[in-house]
């Protein structure tokens, strides 16, 4: 039970919380973000899509059940601390390196006709390849996917997550 505080144990929060997905243009290093973000909530209030919630410590976290991100930048513009920053070099860079990942429990793999994620993808990055027997394999074109999360909320099986597509981070983690 490493990483669980005594207070969380008594509250019944014994499972480790999954890493929150921060709003676009968030400082990449989790410790830097935590140090810079004061949890004021201005980013959430500025979001026209209303998809920024809060994680357990009270910092902003994306809540894709309500929809996808349009990358309008209102959240970063409202951030007074620089935890969300789209100025300078960050303005030219992509807002984040996330892409959609369809899990193995996708109901389309069980011969159930479902293409909801593909229908909700504004970039058209999710396609379905026929496998035979009525089954279809959902494939995400990582080059086309913006990681907006519009596909995650409507998924009836709840199997779509967003993962980093940053190869430099993956190489560093592998050694």
Query: What is residue 81's predicted lDDT score, i.e. its pLDDT?
Result: 96
Query: What is residue 173's predicted lDDT score, i.e. its pLDDT?
Result: 46
First to last CA, the chain: 26
Among 101, 64, 60, residue whose Cα is nearest residue 79: 60
CA atoms within 13 Å, Cβ hemisphere of 74: 15
Task: Give dist(CA 27, CA 22) in Å, integer.
Answer: 9
CATH class of 19-95: alpha beta
DSSP state of 23: P
What residues does each domain of the chain span? 19-95, 97-164
Domains 19-95 and 97-164 share a fold: yes
pTM equals: 0.80
Burial of 156 (0-12, 13-18, 19+ CB in 10 A): exposed
pLDDT tens for the 175 residues of the chain, in order: 345 566 655 666 555 456 899 999 999 889 999 999 999 999 999 999 999 999 988 999 999 998 999 999 999 999 999 999 988 776 777 899 999 999 999 999 888 999 999 999 999 999 999 988 888 999 999 999 999 999 999 999 999 999 998 754 444 444 4
Topology of domain 97-164, CATH: Alpha-Beta Plaits (3.30.70)
């Amino acid at each position: 039970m490493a990483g669980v505080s005594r207070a969380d144990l008594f509250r019944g929060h014994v499972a480790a919380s999954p890493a929150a997905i921060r709003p676009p243009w968030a400082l990449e290093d989790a410790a830097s973000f935590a140090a810079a973000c004061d949890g004021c909530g201005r980013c959430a209030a500025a979001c026209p899509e209303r998809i920024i919630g809060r994680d357990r410590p009270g910092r902003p976290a994306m809540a894709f059940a309500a929809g996808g991100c349009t990358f309008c930048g209102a959240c970063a513009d409202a951030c007074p601390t620089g935890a969300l920053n789209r100025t300078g070099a960050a303005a030219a860079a992509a807002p984040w390196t996330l892409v959609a990942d369809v899990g193995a429990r996708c109901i389309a793999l069980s011969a159930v006709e479902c293409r909801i994620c593909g229908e909700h993808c504004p970039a058209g990055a999710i396609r379905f390849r026929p496998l035979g027997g009525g089954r279809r394999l959902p494939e995400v074109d990582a080059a086309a996917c913006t990681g907006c999360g519009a596909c995650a909320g409507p998924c009836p099986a709840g199997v779509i997550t967003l993962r980093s597509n940053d190869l430099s981070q993956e190489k560093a983690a592998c050694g």
